[in-house]
Amino acid sequence: MNISNSYYFWLKSSDNSPENIEAIEESQNVKLPIVSFIFDPRDDNDVLNSIDRIVEKLWTDRIYHFTISPDMYTAKDVIDWKFDSQYIAFFEKIKEKNLHVIFRTMHEMNGWRYPRSSNPENFKTAWIHVWMLSRVVWLNEENILFDFSVNHRDMPTKGTPSQSATLIQCDIWKKDCYHFEDYYPWDEYVDVVWFTFYNRWKSVWNRKWLTPTQILYDKNRKTYERIKALNKPIVIDEVATTSVRYSWNYDYYKSRNEYLNHDGRKENWIYQLREFLINHPEIVATIYFNTDYTHGLQLQITWEADWAIVNLRDNKIYGWFHELEIFGEKELDNILNSLFHLSKFSIEWKDIFISHKCDKEFSMISSIIKEKAKTTEEKIELINKLQKAEFESDCINKSLYELTKVYINQQPTQ
């Protein structure tokens, strides 16, 4: 799916904090139409309370990318309803707040980290189960898009999946190896296909400093070609680069020095990312993983994991952030149109988003109300009469519901 040679550039919030997004937007004079928050919940209320606070701070006039994964449950546990209450509560919250959400769950299943890995058949059954739960609370593609998110490397385990499991090093020719295509749960249950990749430096002994093109066009994986073959809107939902690069064995003080005096390496890689996106117009959107686990390399960890492009803690704003943000800046209605298939109508200075399939009905109903009623009270009365007619058309009923919200909000408070 090619969306007019454009992409949208978003940020993951640092520490899942809406205040972080507020601060970035204020300090950099930007408005991010889409922001990302990642949860692996252990407490049911953590996610719901967080979403309440996020929406209170950032409002509903943007799209949210939420990752809600079943922590340490296996795919079989999900099939057996062990995470149903958390999923349903989340879906009900989306319905309550009337949000537009790109929903990532059980991501990077083709890696080794999570118990949901290394069993494609269970994964597909679990995915469809979760999709069905969203429909139980009457969500559809106008509110929620299901995001099939894979690691750019296929890395199943020889034993039980875990952070320390022994990996099977996959390539495209290896027969006894699960690839991300094995986990794909059929087209009707997937709205967008996403993938994650990083330029990591010394996370493990054999990591190299690689450009986006080198990572995604590795001849032994052919990741990008395979992603395109799924024929869905493509999004990069985690990407970032370190700023530290040197050839010696790991040393904290050398890393700290490199961090403080990196001589443009991070900016150069971000520029390469920008060029990659310009040359791949079929990529709809990109989420930069804007997190610094090192607190400006104040923490002595055995790998460098400062991913941030906008690091307000240390006041480090890396080059090309504004070029990426400006190049990717799109009005919210353009994004809703292209991804959620919604049309924008402006009524009484308020924007309403209606499914493309209901354009005709909404135009007809809004025109009738405008022609037949003059005051807000008259419009509400006319809408109530039309609602009592109990139309069989879902589009007419949806139009009346949205118009009711507009005109009720126009009434003065008592």
pLDDT computed for residue 294 by the predictor = 83
Q: For residue 302, how far is the Cα from the chain centroid?
A: 29
322 strand-pairing partners: none
Report the alpha-carbon distance of residue 51 to residue 64 in Å, rounded.
10
Task: Kindly list the averaged pLDDT for each block of 10 residues, start to end, along the chain of length 414.
Answer: 40 83 89 85 74 93 90 93 95 94 95 89 98 96 96 90 86 90 97 93 66 96 96 92 81 83 88 91 87 82 78 82 59 80 86 90 94 93 92 92 83 50
- C-alpha dihedral, 306 to 312 to 317 to 323, nearest 10°: 100
pLDDT computed for residue 326 by the predictor = 53
pLDDT computed for residue 411 by the predictor = 58
Please list, residue by residue across 128-137, b when 16 or more beta carbons sit within 10 angstroms of its beta carbon and e when fewer do. Answer: ebbbebbeeb
Report the alpha-carbon distance of residue 157 to residue 224 in Å, rounded.
23
296 CB neighbour count, 10 Å cutoff: 16
81 CB neighbour count, 10 Å cutoff: 11
pLDDT computed for residue 91 by the predictor = 97
Angle at the Cα of 406 from the Cα atoms of 402 and 411, rounded to 5 degrees: 145
Report the alpha-carbon distance of residue 253 to residue 200 in Å, rounded.
18
Residues with Cβ within 8 Å of residue 85, at least 6 apart in sequence: 44
Residues with Cβ within 8 Å of residue 19, at least 6 apart in sequence: 57
The helix or strand, by DSSP H or E, that contains position 284, with its residue range, turns out to be strand 283-288
pLDDT computed for residue 54 by the predictor = 94
The pTM score is: 0.89
HSE-up of 344 (CA within 13 Å, CB side)? 13
Q: What are phi and psi of 267, to 5 degrees?
A: -60, -40
pLDDT computed for residue 206 by the predictor = 56
